[in-house]
Structure 1
Amino acid sequence: MTWPFENDTSAIVKKLADRSMKADKRRNAFIIITIAFAVSLMMVLALYNLGTDRENRLYLQGRYQSSFINSTSTVFEKLEHNNQIESVGKEAAMGTSRINDYTLDVYYRDQNALELKGVTDLLGKMPEAENEIIVEQSYLEHLGLPVQLDQTVTLDMPFGENQTYHVCGIIQSRNASRIYQVIVSNGLYSRYGKANCYDLLVRLKNTENMDSETLKLLINEIAEQSGVPEQYVMYSSTYFGLAEEKSTQELLVIIGASSLIVLACSLVIYSLFYISVIGKTHEYGRLRVLGATSVQIKRIVRKENFLLSCAAIPIGVVLGSVLGYCFVPDGWHWMTTLECAVVIALVTEIALKIAVHTPVKKASMVSPIEALRINTTDTPATEKTRIEHRKITPSSLARMSFARNKKKAILTVLSLGFAGVLLMCAATYLNSTDVESMAKQQFANGDIVLSLDPANTNAEDRPAGINALQTKNPLDEVLEETISDMNGVKNIEFIQGCVSNMEFPTPFKDGNSHFFTQIGIPENQYEAFSQGLIEGTADRQKLINGKGVIVDNSAKLLSDYYNYTPQIGDIVKVETADGQWEEFTVMGIGKAPNLGGDSASFYFPQELLPMMKENVSNFNITCIVDVERDQLTEVENKIFQLAENRGGIEVFSISDIITYLQEEMNNIKMPLYGLVFFIAVFGLISLINTLMTNIISRQQEFGILQSVGLSSKQFSKMLQTECFYYVSGTAILTLTIGTLTGFVLCKVFNQVGTFGTLTYHFPVLEISIYFVALFFILAAYSVFSVRYSKRHPVIERIKTME
């Protein structure tokens, strides 16, 4: 018979839930800690990603968005009076000086240009007198000089060697590239040959919420109004690279990682409540005897879950907010934090409701009669055995206890195994990333690159500067022989080429020609060029006979910046050393192989290079040196000194790239290991909870065993063996699925190629630490269990569960 109404028993349910929680303080502590860990980790993850994005956006608020190159003071004045311009600054490159193992880039910049370049930590003042300069802190440290103002330095600047300058300002940012900036005064720049030629750095007003395409259209419109040709408008790659819409990608990262966290947390919560429900079966049965319905039992368990989540979620939110602020203080925002807290609290509450659904259902299905005789096994044993007598040992008792409730054991092992697998994935990736391999993407055929460097020349003068160097080429046989004699040098390769102005079938918008590098194809590389062809030919003899050129437009550089899309049969013109124009035919289009030097767009047979520069006999433009890794520093120092003595040579080393990439990898490691640490904690909490629940719920069983002669030593061994089964199951999952997953992860990243070649390394240290923690818990558990059991007499423990 169904009654049309039901008495309001919510107050009784609440009281029973409160009393149940008070009686189960240890379980509650584990659940609160687990939920708080999960919430805090999700908060940190969300605040870190969103805070980094906000930090970037705040950083970009003061950055320039575009530069109008080769402009004059007249254009500068127009931009200053334009109401749409927030700030405009002057910049001019005055040349480069190579000194031993470092490079100085000399610039003139006014105050606005310095700020638009992101220099906000200037110590001192802007240079005013001709002998005043601004230098980088890293430059002074590289020279072993004190980082302080009002000192003098001797520099090889564009206006003469060994000039003395007064340091009036210091840029306090770090720089590991060994390419340092020197900022000179307007007084010194006024003596420069092209003193009225500037690159104008521009930032527009009210563009914080403007999309990239709209902003570019507005920049072009302002440039046209100011009389700046379209080809002289350059967009800031830093600004537009960071300002690109990444909200969807960031959201997916947060959702994906949060899903793993919620899954790990839910698995632990499920395990905790499931084990708790089994342990409280007698209690629920007694409530049923007293008249409690299955619906009321469900409400009691759900009420417990709700009260625990109400206690844990705020703790996790506060902890996560504090950590999120500590990680990205400049990107922290209270409204973002509040929104994250609300969303994460709702997600966590929903996940917890799902996690306790099965335990709640199991608790509600307990009948009064079953409750009076139920044990903690999954199902009563129905299978008969012929063995009437068994040898009882601590090991066999542990085995029976472990197998008694298979579901509980599986849940605990899965929780620990899940953490172990994630640890294996993260640790394998971090151990397998090879910054040297990543750096090799830029130094494909060697470790040190020497290139011709016409010092103190502008870009427009580069073809003449390179040509002048090649007439007395410092990259000659003497240099080759000198480097070959150095200990540790394995191989030397030269790339031949030249730099010339070129014209295409479609004229440039400014009506002028622009210079490009023409690379000679080595005789042993024609097959590699053939493999990368999209159309045309890479046959050496055909290219020589037809005055052919292979064009690489795979990066769309020619299409995007020079309005030229190459076609087979196109005629391109190259300016020769005497100012004439030599015609060549496009006979191949495709992606060129990496020869080891700077990438180029035009590749010619080496036999055709003299047609461009008749006054050159040595077309070496780049020298690539392959070095034994353990002797790289020694060879590097010798080559820097050699380049300094010969002049006209710029040196780049793979060690500079490795240093930079190592810093980037260190920035990735900490958040990733932090994520794994939290997930590992979930697994350890699950193990500790299972073991602690065993101690509390099995006091009657332990009392009976001790009453029939089980010694403390045997009791400890039984518990240790039982715990060992959990650790062994975790080890099997971690070392099989975790190892396989980590290996597959390396293969996938190798296919992507972004992180270079990942060489699989088993993460011995990380996994050892994880298992040491597990075995420490195993040892501590047995000691604690014996001491806990001794707190009450055997008779009292036997009666406790009756």
Structure 2
Amino acid sequence: MTWPFENDTGAIVKKLAKRSLASEKRRNLMVVIAVALAAFLISFAAILSVSVAQIQRNQAADTYEAVFTGVEASDVAALKDLPEFARVGEYYLLGQEHSEQGYNASYVYCDSDMIYIARSQMELIKGELPERENEVAVSEYFLSSYGSNAGIGETVRLDTESFQGNYTVTGILSNVGEKEGNTCAIAVSKAALTRWAGFDPAGYRAYVHFQNDEQLNQEIMTACCREIAARYGLPHAGMNSSYFAYASKSIDFASAGGIAALVLIGGYVVIQSIFRISIQDKIQSYGQLRTIGATSKQIRRVVKRESRRLGSIGILLGVLLGVAGGLLLFPKGFHGLYYGAAVLLTVLICWFMVTISVRRPVKIAAGISPLEAVRFSAGQERIRSRKKPIKLNPVSMGLANFRRDRKKAASIAASLSLGGILLLIVSSVVLTRSPEQAARLYFPDGDYKIYLSSEQPEEEVMAAGNPLNDGLRQEILSVDGVTDVLVTRQALHAKFGSSASTEAGMCDALTDANRPDVEAALVSGAMPADAHSVLLDASYQKHLAEMDVGAAMELSLGQKTVTVTISGLLDPLRMTNGHGALALDSVALFAPEELFRELHPEIENFDYSWSIVSDPKKAERVEAGLQEILSSRSNLGLDTIGTHIAYEKMQSGLIFGGLRAVSWLIFLFGVVNLINTTLSNQMSRRRENSILRSIGLTSRQLCRMNICEGLCYAAFAALSVLLVGLPIAVAVCREVSRQSFAGEIVPYQFPILEMGLFLLVLFGLEFLLSAWTAGRQRKRSLVEQMREMES
């Protein structure tokens, strides 16, 4: 602000800042790179958080909030007429049947509303749904692999038990995960469904989507579904927990905040160092301005204008790169408002970083007096006084140069070591929680599991004759390499909860074989004392306070419901017995075996999962033999440790690979600082080096002196990484080990490969920069350098 009695010197300040920018191209480039790097890291992290949350919202939006299971077609029609619902999808799952061609056919019936509701899983990409008995809609995978690439209106042949013959294709489906499981989705008409031998008139499912769903919460929707179920005599509706989790999910900026904090530290150190060196190089120019009448305030405004100009350019470049990267990787996660918020957040953080970074340099520039400016010479910083003289040689002179400006040395070491510390921590965690160790938690006995995997409820499959029987056991034992078959789980799918909320998950039988392991996982309460006491996963109690020790709840195993008491809570970290990469069928609660017998006396065998013990040297034969046995059994699935290892590697690659990338990018802050310092030293010490060469210092000795100084920076940074990063890495790894392996502490492993690469880059960079600096000085003659200093 200019007061009325003041002269407006804004134009002069603007011209001075412009001239200064034009004369400091190297400094400008370094600042722009540092700010752009910071803006890119922060904006990309924020865009990533926004995109993931938006993709999850898109999957949940306008789908379904509840499902009525076990209803008739007339009930579905009645639900469609209710004003509370905007859309009701009609669905019937016929189940899987094995084809003679080798694939598993998953037959379903659904209407157009259901296709729209389930679009994230199964989408009608071309044509229409079938209406006649001899019409089907099939998947792209089926047509390309088994349907001779037939098109709409052409004929395909089905050869499963229930559906055999030629059928006309009316539509083409896109289904998730078909190729991986060799399962083909086939939609049949209602006419074909009602003539199917296994048709149950009360086997429909109604998926409902509420009107004004954004104004309603889960409690209101649940109460409405209960009232409708009571009015029409329908079973209780199951609520879509994924919908409520994603629809109300807020954007998680925790990871972006952590990255922003690291970037703030690194950017602050680097930008301040760059400006401080620049001001030291130009301190005499500022002194000359003071002698002709420039005030401290005007000098301050010149430097601030320079920082704002360079900061604006860097922020703009970094934000553009961050947004472009987010759009390229997550195009479906775009949301204009959220992207705008992420960009605004990035701009504010980076502007704050630039502002605080130049405060100290601005104060130095504005506080210099004309007399001090004339006496000051860059490169002549005071070396701490010594009581004893030192022997002059290239090594001692390099060490003296390293110690001459403690702030500069600390700045470079801090910026270089920050990325190294983060890399050490991340790499140590990766070694602690290796994919092989994480996958082995699910396979304590062998490398393979066979389990019930059917679209039909487990109790129906078991009542009709559990396929996990003695005949199958003998077939498996006959495979070359298999040594034993162990029963690992006896379980049924269950619904449990109170009148306020209902949950669903797998209920395992508590037997004499698994009792010791279950008791070891108990965190509160006691083991069941009678048949109507159960143990519950403690994670349910965290978000449902009423599900605590001593509370009563309703438990449904199939169509049978009984009131039980929660006698204890279990540590979920010890309940790693699910199947598939996501382990979605991990145990939710344990009930005594007597309760299973009481509710389902018609079932003789409750086996749900077997563990296959085999010779590791014959792994290929064993897996091929098990695949051949299961190829003719559609109700069974094969889970392998290789699947879990691959999934863990993918997860580790996504999470820890990203953190490694962030580590190296933050390390670039130190590289920028180091390059700027090296180039500045070359400029500011020309006179000093010329004098040394004039009294006998050879080019080789000058090169050794520069290399020694550079290696001091690298050694100091490496030492900082070990002293600061190692204790943090050990502590973090202990906590990760405790969380991942149910309290077991895995011995710490130092990441030799990653840190060796870091040290190689660090010392190699220092050596190259020092050698390059000496080479530049060697190319110019001593006379030329002396004349240049005189001018």
Partner of 2:129: 126
d(CA) in 2 for partners of 1:145, 1:441: 41
Report whether the alignment pairs 1:32 with 2:24.
no
**Structure 1 residues 780 and 452, CA, compared in 2 at 3 Å: closer, same or farther?**
closer
Indicate the SS of the match to 1:469. Answer: coil
d(CA) in 2 for partners of 1:437, 1:136: 37
Partner of 1:111: 112
- 1:268 Cα shift? 0.8
Indicate the SS of the match to 1:232. Answer: coil
Instruction: Note the aligned Cα RMSD (angstroms).
Output: 4.6
- 1:23 Cα shift? 1.9
- 1:717 Cα shift? 2.5
* Residue in structure 2 matching 1:710, options 654, 672, 697: 697
Alignment-mate amino acid for residue 592 of structure 2: F
d(CA) in 1 for partners of 2:108, 2:745: 40
Partner of 1:363: 365
Indicate the SS of the match to 2:11. Answer: helix
Alignment-mate amino acid for residue 332 of structure 2: D
Alignment-mate amino acid for residue 794 of structure 1: L
**Structure 1 residues 151 and 331, CA, compared in 2 at 3 Å: closer, same or farther?**
same
d(CA) in 1 for partners of 2:72, 2:380: 85
d(CA) in 1 for partners of 2:604, 2:108: 35
Q: Is the 8 A contact 1:475 1:623 kept in 2?
A: no
Partner of 2:174: 171
Alignment-mate amino acid for residue 623 of structure 1: W
Indicate the SS of the match to 1:552. Answer: strand
* Residue in structure 1 matching 2:187, options 184, 188, 197: 184
d(CA) in 2 for partners of 1:711, 1:378: 21
d(CA) in 2 for partners of 1:747, 1:379: 46
- 1:240 Cα shift? 2.0
- 1:710 Cα shift? 2.9
**Structure 1 residues 492 and 425, CA, compared in 2 at 3 Å: closer, same or farther?**
same
Partner of 2:570: 591
**Structure 1 residues 6 and 41, CA, compared in 2 at 3 Å: closer, same or farther?**
same
Report whether the alignment pairs 1:551 with 2:543.
no
Indicate the SS of the match to 1:553. Answer: strand
Matches for 1:83-482 after TM superposition, within 5 Å: 83-97=83-97, 104-118=105-119, 119-120=122-123, 122-123=125-126, 125-136=128-139, 149=151, 152=156, 154-157=158-161, 159=162, 168-171=171-174, 173-174=176-177, 178=181, 180=183, 182-186=185-189, 187-192=191-196, 193-195=199-201, 197-207=203-213, 209-210=214-215, 212-213=217-218, 216-217=221-222, 220=225, 223=228, 227=232, 229=234, 231-247=235-251, 250-376=252-378, 380-381=382-383, 383-387=385-389, 390-443=390-443, 445-451=445-451, 458-459=456-457, 462-463=458-459, 465-469=461-465, 474-476=468-470, 480=473
Alignment-mate amino acid for residue 411 of structure 1: S
TM-score by length of 1: 0.81
Q: Is the 8 A contact 2:269 2:357 kept in 1?
A: yes
The aligned length equals 767
Partner of 2:582: none
- 1:355 Cα shift? 1.1
Indicate the SS of the match to 1:385. Answer: coil
**Structure 1 residues 33 and 385, CA, compared in 2 at 3 Å: closer, same or farther?**
same
Partner of 2:678: 691
- 1:596 Cα shift? 4.6
d(CA) in 1 for partners of 2:521, 2:315: 59
Q: Is the 8 A contact 2:72 2:201 kept in 1?
A: no
Partner of 1:680: 667
Alignment-mate amino acid for residue 208 of structure 2: V
- 1:269 Cα shift? 0.3
Indicate the SS of the match to 1:64. Answer: coil
* Residue in structure 2 matching 1:493, options 462, 473, 486: 486
Partner of 1:751: 738
d(CA) in 1 for partners of 2:129, 2:305: 67
Partner of 2:687: 700
- 1:790 Cα shift? 5.5
**Structure 1 residues 272 and 560, CA, compared in 2 at 3 Å: closer, same or farther?**
closer
d(CA) in 1 for partners of 2:37, 2:627: 53
d(CA) in 2 for partners of 1:528, 1:267: 52
- 1:496 Cα shift? 7.3
**Structure 1 residues 748 and 560, CA, compared in 2 at 3 Å: closer, same or farther?**
closer
- 1:120 Cα shift? 3.9
**Structure 1 residues 30 and 508, CA, compared in 2 at 3 Å: closer, same or farther?**
closer
Deviates more, 1:61-70 or 1:287-296: 287-296
**Structure 1 residues 638 and 524, CA, compared in 2 at 3 Å: closer, same or farther?**
same
Give the gaps of 5 or more residues in structure 2.
579-585
d(CA) in 1 for partners of 2:270, 2:542: 56
Deviations 1:218-251 (A, max 9, x none): 753784597364x53122233222223323xx13
* Residue in structure 2 matching 1:642, options 614, 621, 629: 629
**Structure 1 residues 503 and 787, CA, compared in 2 at 3 Å: closer, same or farther?**
closer
Identity of aligned residues (%): 23
Give the gaps of 5 or more residues in structure 1.
none
* Residue in structure 1 matching 2:785, options 765, 772, 797: 797
Q: Is the 8 A contact 2:13 2:301 kept in 1?
A: yes
Alignment-mate amino acid for residue 225 of structure 2: N
Q: Is the 8 A contact 2:45 2:255 kept in 1?
A: no
d(CA) in 2 for partners of 1:151, 1:758: 61
